[in-house]
Structure 1
Amino acid sequence: MKKFALLLMVALSVISCSTEVEGDKFHLESLPIDSAILPIEFKKDSIYELPFNYIRPTTCHVFEGFYYERNLNVRTIAIQTSVLEQNNCEVATVNPITEILQFKPGNETSYVFKLWKGKVNGVDVFEEIEIPVVP
């Protein structure tokens, strides 16, 4: 009986360790910021909800979050999406889409937001907006 139980446990272990992944296949894709509504100044330690608009190309593009890179007082931002690899994708009819990024300024005297606008001839293009921080 012990041998049967051991054999059953080994068989279940092998079956449960299958390397095949079931479900939808997808890949990540960054989308450009179409527009943003940013304040003319920040107050230190206040929390801001910053709306960013983007164009969703197809119904298979699903918002995953923001590409957000910090470097001193510079914040580089783009939209991060998952693209479902399906053959029934349609052109998205509801555009632009607005997503909110929460931002809390710290000890910097200003912040530079670099909004990714896409690529032109293979080169990344950014819109830069500097916003001062007041006490």
Structure 2
Amino acid sequence: MLYRDVLGSYTTYGGGSSGRIANIQLACESCNDVILNPGDTFSYNDTVGERTIERGFQSAPVIANGQLVPGIGWGICQVSSTLYAACLNAGLEIVERYPHSKPVAYIPSGMDATVSWGILDYKFKNNTEYPVKIQDSYANGAIFVQILGTREG
């Protein structure tokens, strides 16, 4: 039976501006119910896509070179970081991951996974013998991510 077990999960908390919340919701919707077969590699940038106004992403401050500057898509790194922590808890193979240039408040130091379209990506590989599914959601200031699969053995 596929997806019967929660292999790993993680929750982060944080709200912010309406633009940041809209960006988080778009990123969550993009990643929700993504299935990876054994050996498949997940790319956050490929899955979420380019962050543009035309695609519904909104302007909000982003971290660039250690400073907060105006940008499109602020908040999506909280989703990638929550996903990263869930993947670590699931024992999935991390292929590519970068920390922010300064600490972020929504996750313990060293647990973040920053992304930037065309520059920095977060990738992991399904190193299990069965398909895995990402389930994530945003509600009341909380991002919840779980990795569903089948425990081996």
Q: Which has the higher contact order (CA 8 A, sep 6+)?
A: 2
- Name the structure with the higher helix share: 2
Instruction: Decide which structure has the larger Cα Rg and report it.
Output: 1
- Name the structure with the higher strand share: 1
